[in-house]
Amino acid sequence: MTPAERFGLALLHKFDPETAHGLSLTALRAGLVQLPGPVSNPRLKTSVAGMALLNPVGLAAGYDKNAVAIAALSRAGFGFIEVGAATPLPQPGNPKPRLFRLTEDKAAINRFGFNNEGAAAIAARLAARQRTEVPVGLNLGANKTSTDRAADFAQVLALCGPHVDFATVNVSSPNTERLRDLQGPAALAALLAGVMEVRAKLPRPIPIFLKIAPDLTPDDLAAIAEVALAAGLSGIIATNTTLSREGLRSAHRSEAGGLSGAPLFEKSTQVLAQLSKLTDGKLPLIGVGGISTADQAYAKIRAGASAVQIYTAMVFQGLSLAADIARGLDALLARDGHASVSAAVGAGRGEWL
């Protein structure tokens, strides 16, 4: 982290978290943030569900909800970027305050509730973006007031699908009431059938991922893996935020919402390893949850992830974290004699089972 970035973070932390979030996006768009550009080499380049990535370190959904900073984020060292979540209609989300920094735990709790400007506004920005080597995907959500939430995912994909490189079905946010119920096998199969029907009609069939919660039993995971394989999904993102509050020390630890950041690392990596065993290489997995170092990103890859995503750790370590992790991963792969990221995928899965 540069002195300028350290100063910028300290300044942002003087504001409430949601204001700071908005200010960081404004600074990015205004060109006030020093960006490293692409971070890549033959060892870091990899492919996930047919997408060529410069490196396996992605940005998780939730940071750029409305797709306003894609151009800058594409120069921030990420191998891929996920924006959103987008819902068919604009919605304000839950009442504020709804984002809490847990500094002592290097974590955050949010209960945003899919606040976004709606699929039409987001589709317009995605259509106008300049395409680069960095794939851009969209997290698909459902409106809180919807009478058919399963149909909402297909509706967003129909509108935005032509303008993105991949899409993620997000049935794992804990902040929209009863949304996680859609992770049940029958409901999930029906929802995914609708999404895949829309995918087939897109100008080009993009990869579709499913993002799951970490708070699932082994039986739940086995059922989801079965449904995902049967539906013809391109991969699974493991995992979203947790409802667990185990071991937290921060004053905000009792706030309602999803917990992300350092405390999620072990739980999400265990889920990832279980999924890796269940899917047995038939589906690429993207590991997310609590990554703040290259060692942790490497642990996710060795547990079965073909790529990883970060978000909460940037609140405490800055945007330069993506490039730092990518470079660190390169060194770890070289140390262990791996010529590629794919050579390390799943190599240490047993340590997490």
Distance CA 185, CA 32 (A): 46
Q: Is 260 left (phi over 0), alpha (psi -120 to 50) or beta?
A: beta
pLDDT at 172: 78
In the three-class reduction of DSSP (H, G, I as helix; E, B as strand; rest coil), residue 69 is classed as: coil
Q: Which residues contact 65 (CB under 8 A, 6 or more apart)?
A: 83, 84, 85, 115, 116
Question: Looking at the predicted structure, is the pLDDT value of residue 177 above 80?
Answer: no
Is 173 catalytic? The answer is yes
Percent of the chain clearing pLDDT 70 (strictly above): 100
Which amino acid is it at 133? E
Residue 349's pLDDT band, with cuts at 50, 70 and 90, is very high
Distance CA 353, CA 349 (A): 7
pLDDT tens-digit profile of 204-221? 999 999 999 999 999 999
Average pLDDT over residues 49-61: 98
Distance CA 302, CA 306 (A): 9
Question: Where do the domains of the chain lie?
Answer: 3-352
Average pLDDT over residues 143-156: 95
pLDDT at 337: 98
pLDDT at 205: 92
In the three-class reduction of DSSP (H, G, I as helix; E, B as strand; rest coil), residue 275 is classed as: helix
Kindly state the helix (H) or strand (E) to which residue 285 belongs, with its residue range. Answer: strand 285-288
Pairing of strands 46-48, 99-102: unpaired
pLDDT tens-digit profile of 15-30? 999 999 999 999 999 9
pLDDT tens-digit profile of 238-266? 999 999 999 999 999 999 999 999 999 99
Q: Which residues contact 168 (CB under 8 A, 6 or more apart)?
A: 61, 82, 84, 137, 138, 139, 140, 208, 209, 210, 211, 237
Read off the pTM: 0.97
Distance CA 268, CA 290 (A): 8
Residue 167's pLDDT band, with cuts at 50, 70 and 90, is very high
pLDDT at 79: 98
pLDDT at 302: 98
Question: Looking at the predicted structure, is the pLDDT value of residue 12 above 80?
Answer: yes
Instruction: Identify the weakest region by mean pLDDT among 2-6, 115-119, 196-200, 336-340.
Output: 2-6
Residue of 173, 260, 276, 292 with catalytic role: 173
Kindly state the helix (H) or strand (E) to which residue 167 belongs, with its residue range. Answer: strand 166-170
Q: Which DSSP letter does residue 349 get? A: G
- Spell out the CATH class of 3-352: alpha beta
pLDDT at 184: 79
pLDDT tens-digit profile of 281-328? 999 999 999 999 999 999 999 999 999 999 999 999 999 999 999 999
Residue 299 vs residue 177, higher pLDDT:
299
Question: Looking at the predicted structure, is the pLDDT value of residue 179 above 80?
Answer: no
Instruction: Identify the weakest region by mean pLDDT among 5-9, 132-136, 170-174, 287-291.
Output: 170-174
Max distance between CA atoms of the chain, in angstroms, equals: 53
Helix locations, 15-171, DSSP H: 17-29, 70-73, 119-128, 149-160
Residue 173's pLDDT band, with cuts at 50, 70 and 90, is confident
Question: Looking at the predicted structure, is the pLDDT value of residue 341 above 90?
Answer: yes
Q: Which residues contact 271 (CB under 8 A, 6 or more apart)?
A: 212, 214, 216, 221, 238, 239
